[in-house]
Amino acid sequence: MNKLVNSIREAIALSGLQDGMTVSFHHHLRNGDHVLNMVMHEIAELGIRDLTVNASSLFDVHMPLVDHIQNGVVSHVLADYISAGLGKAFSAGIMEKPVQFRTHGGRPCDIASGKTPIDVAFIAAPTSDTMGNCSGKYGKSACGSLGYAFADAMYAKRVVVITDNLVPYPLADFSIAENYVDYVVQVDAIGDPRGIVSGTTKITRDPVGLVMAQYAAKVIDASGLLKDGFSFQTGAGGASLAAAKFLKDIMLKKEIQGSFGLGGITGYMVDMLKAGCFKTLLDVQCFDLGAVESIRTNPAHREISALQYASPGSKSAAVDSLDVVILGATEIDTDFNVNVHTDSQGCIMGGSGGHSDTAAGAKLSMIIAPMFRARLPIVTDRVTCISTPGKDVDVLVTQGGIAVNPAKTELKNRLIDAGLPVIDIAELKEKTERITGKPQKLTHGDRIVAEVISRNGDILDKIYSVS
């Protein structure tokens, strides 16, 4: 049997892709990805039209997608996250059908259940053997975990692996197994390593970020959850990383041995693993070289699929065992609803990713955000877009005080007892507006450009065009 085909175009032809079908991509190569653009270019050349693109995330490197939409090659987009440059185009209304935003858990759930079937999955693989056993841990384009690609591989009707490091059969340390793979294509480069992973992520020097990070670590310390067996997830943002650093100091001082670190993994989480703060890292995505190196060499650092990470349809998911998650926000309202989809002008510039999955699963979900960014207060009466519902958000940490969800009275009392500056969220809003002034309300356009689908499948909110 020979799965190896000579070109992406040949693989597309063999896959039987036709007008109106769905293709899928993962985003482990992030802003260094070449595969989506290469594949979509060939599809356009073949004259196939009216496709649905189901991508776990889209980055600005994928700007050519705008042309494919305008030329009718793509008519619908599903994604968990869309970065600002591309988001601006969607917000301007380039596509007739609204974008469907899911969460990192909701996407594989709907793929597995058949709600969003995939006809052909194109899987960028930093290393693959000739039968399609593939991995992200090796090769010049190494990205570490391939967590978001598993559901695509398992449930798509046809699966094409695209690699720039073809190795003889069998690749021993594979992530995705050959039994899912139809075709393998070798190309010169699946991506640009500079855009795939960052170098060493450094702790923020921003004074406000550091103050918030210190509060965040103290909130965790006071929450009652920081004891042996503790589990933790944090983002790759400056303040979140600094919080992990301060948390590590507390854990080492108190000799607390946690159970696992989860999520997108950075070198900081790897340091915590090495220092004995965790027994295991469960890694759905690597953010930097330190994480890639660790997942390749340390057996305690495990790759997990997005299904295991966060799918509400799985028999269990790691987020359900999570104690604490630190998350960001572009806006949060006085009901604790959080927006991570749009910027201050209402333009798409992000998405839930694992935000709502971890917020729903974790015992303590904490938002870290400054009181205001470029004069715009973080706390509003109503967020422009609900990405994560307020019922799943427990505490907001800002440099000007810590607001606790009123439903969490025990947590609130613990923080007050620890001497932390607890403040009512409405009061925090007023305090901020005394500094910034009260912003005038934005008006939005009348077209719906995106729908935000909650992890349960309901439409949580709609995003309107920018006027």
Q: Provide the binding-site residues for other proteins, judged by CB under 8 A.
A: 205, 207-208, 210-211, 214, 249, 344-345, 371, 373-376, 399-400, 419, 434-437, 439-440, 442
How many CB atoms sit inside 10 A of residue 441's CB? 8
For other proteins, the closer CB: 253 or 315: 253
Residue 167 bridge partners (DSSP): 129
For other proteins, the closer CB: 41 or 373: 373
- In angstroms, give the least distance from the CB of 374 to other proteins: 3
- In angstroms, give the least distance from the CB of 326 to other proteins: 18
- In angstroms, give the least distance from the CB of 409 to other proteins: 22
* C-beta separation of 332 from 339 below 8 A: yes
For other proteins, the closer CB: 37 or 345: 345
- In angstroms, give the least distance from the CB of 442 to other proteins: 6
CA distances for 93 relative to 66, 84, 87, 108, angstroms: 11, 14, 10, 27
Q: What span, in angstroms and rounded, lies between the C-alpha atoms of 302 and 291?
A: 11
CA distances for 361 relative to 190, 307, 369, 388, 392, angstroms: 34, 14, 21, 12, 8
> What phi, psi does 370 have (nearest 5°)?
-70, 155
- In angstroms, give the least distance from the CB of 435 to other proteins: 7
- In angstroms, give the least distance from the CB of 339 to other proteins: 15
For other proteins, the closer CB: 1 or 374: 374
- In angstroms, give the least distance from the CB of 371 to other proteins: 8
For other proteins, the closer CB: 9 or 373: 373
* Residue 85 CB-density burial (10 A; 0-12 exposed, 13-18 middle, 19+ buried): middle
- In angstroms, give the least distance from the CB of 248 to other proteins: 11
Rg (CA), the chain: 22
Q: What span, in angstroms and rounded, lies between the C-alpha atoms of 64 and 346?
A: 23
For other proteins, the closer CB: 189 or 442: 442
* C-beta separation of 389 from 460 below 8 A: yes
For other proteins, the closer CB: 315 or 441: 441
| 264: enclosing H helix or E strand | strand 260-265
Please give the single-letter amino acid code of residue 392.
D
Q: What angle do CA 21, 25, 30 make, to 5 degrees?
A: 150
- In angstroms, give the least distance from the CB of 453 to other proteins: 28
Q: What span, in angstroms and rounded, lies between the C-alpha atoms of 275 and 263?
A: 18
For other proteins, the closer CB: 256 or 376: 376
* C-beta separation of 144 from 293 below 8 A: no
For other proteins, the closer CB: 302 or 373: 373
Q: What span, in angstroms and rounded, lies between the C-alpha atoms of 285 and 291?
A: 9
Please give the single-letter amino acid code of residue 157.
K
* C-beta separation of 114 from 141 below 8 A: no
For other proteins, the closer CB: 315 or 434: 434
Q: Tokens in use for 437?
A: 């002034």
- In angstroms, give the least distance from the CB of 344 to other proteins: 7
Indicate the angle between helix axes 207-222 and 238-253, nearest 10 degrees: 40
